[in-house]
Amino acid sequence: MEATEKALVLRVGRFREADAWVRLLTPSHGVFTAFAFGGLRSRRRFLGCLDPLNLVLFSITSDKRGAYQRLTEGTLLNGFQALKRNKALVGQAVNCIKFIEAIEPGADDGRIAFGLLVDLLETLADQQPEGDLFPLLFRARLIFTMGFTPDFLSCSRCGAVLNGVGKVLFSVESGQVTCSACKSDNKAVDGLARPVTVGALRALDWIMRSSPAQWSGVGMSADVRSQIFELIEFFVAYHLGLQWEGRNYKKV
């Protein structure tokens, strides 16, 4: 690899006195680790670059055998300082980064993940939103953008547009909805299915089509939030094999 590319710094660690390993997310290569030899001492090549939550223009090369990637220099593009001064917002950003690291998007999904995470960090820094919904909305939006795009607003059996205030069934396996009329017809629903209100499905449909800049000030009832959280966690566990345990995502 020989490239000059924008990258988000996810994590940084020391492995020798002056050397660092850097976990990165780039549009072209997704998540990977590169080494900054002498990076912890160099004020010229990596000035202000090697901190988590930084957007940096890095020059990246491979060693002669192609065994690892090396950062040769970097230019800080955005340190998101307003975000870093707010501990609550940093916590939300770190939660989103842990999700990115857990799913490890590669070259195919790198552009999607990178764009969404940059939008998220810019929104947190610029708008300073209250509440703690952003990690949930981010997980939902990312998996939908990566190709898991259910039709939340119509029944997969009869095609009817969902309305009313009752509960319907959402199949986590197929991503399809069964309306109240069809589910009462004693027809089996494929795979793991959860009861959910039409209001929660409308909220999920909006999330699927929204951007982080639209999330500030979004209000949800406790019931809708609980339903969305449960569905997204089931969806992530079933389709991505991940479950939140302690402070990290674990393979299930």
Each residue's pLDDT tens digit, 28-44? 999 999 999 988 887 78
Total number of domains in the chain: 2
CA nearest to 56, candidates 8, 101, 110: 8
Q: Tell me the pLDDT band of 183, cut-offs 50, 70 and 90.
A: confident
Tell me: do 214 and 177 sit in the same domain.
Answer: yes
How far apart CA 132 and CA 138 sit, in angstroms, is 11
How does pLDDT run across 188-239, given as a tens digit for each residue? Answer: 556 678 899 999 999 999 999 999 999 998 889 999 999 999 999 998 998 8
How far apart CA 231 and CA 198 sit, in angstroms, is 13
Domain span holding position 127: 1-132
| CATH number of the domain residue 52 falls in | 2.40.50.140
Tell me: do 94 and 120 sit in the same domain.
Answer: yes
Flag whether the pTM goes above 0.95: no
How far apart CA 55 and CA 26 sit, in angstroms, is 10
Q: Is residue 235 assigned to a domain? A: yes
Tell me: do 50 and 156 sit in the same domain.
Answer: no
How far apart CA 55 and CA 124 sit, in angstroms, is 14
Q: Is residue 220 assigned to a domain? A: yes
Q: Is residue 249 assigned to a domain? A: yes
- Structure confidence at residue 205 (pLDDT): 94
- Structure confidence at residue 250 (pLDDT): 86
Tell me: do 189 and 212 sit in the same domain.
Answer: yes
Boundary residue ending a domain (98, 132, 166): 132
Tell me: do 160 and 224 sit in the same domain.
Answer: yes
Cβ neighbors of 29 (< 8 A, separation 6 or more) are: 1, 5, 106, 107, 110
pLDDT greater than 90 at residue 163: no
DSSP structural state of residue 212 = G
Tell me: do 182 and 87 sit in the same domain.
Answer: no
Boundary residue ending a domain (83, 105, 132): 132
How far apart CA 2 and CA 69 sit, in angstroms, is 9
Tell me: do 172 and 92 sit in the same domain.
Answer: no
- Structure confidence at residue 145 (pLDDT): 87
Tell me: do 37 and 111 sit in the same domain.
Answer: yes
Tell me: do 210 and 121 sit in the same domain.
Answer: no
- Structure confidence at residue 193 (pLDDT): 85
Q: Is residue 97 assigned to a domain? A: yes
CA nearest to 171, candidates 179, 162, 159, 161: 179
Q: Is residue 13 assigned to a domain? A: yes
Tell me: do 119 and 175 sit in the same domain.
Answer: no
Tell me: do 170 and 250 sit in the same domain.
Answer: yes
Tell me: do 84 and 153 sit in the same domain.
Answer: no
Structure tokens that stand for 137 in this block: 């909305």
- Structure confidence at residue 46 (pLDDT): 92
pLDDT greater than 70 at residue 75: yes
Q: Is residue 103 assigned to a domain? A: yes
Q: Is residue 159 assigned to a domain? A: yes
- Structure confidence at residue 180 (pLDDT): 83
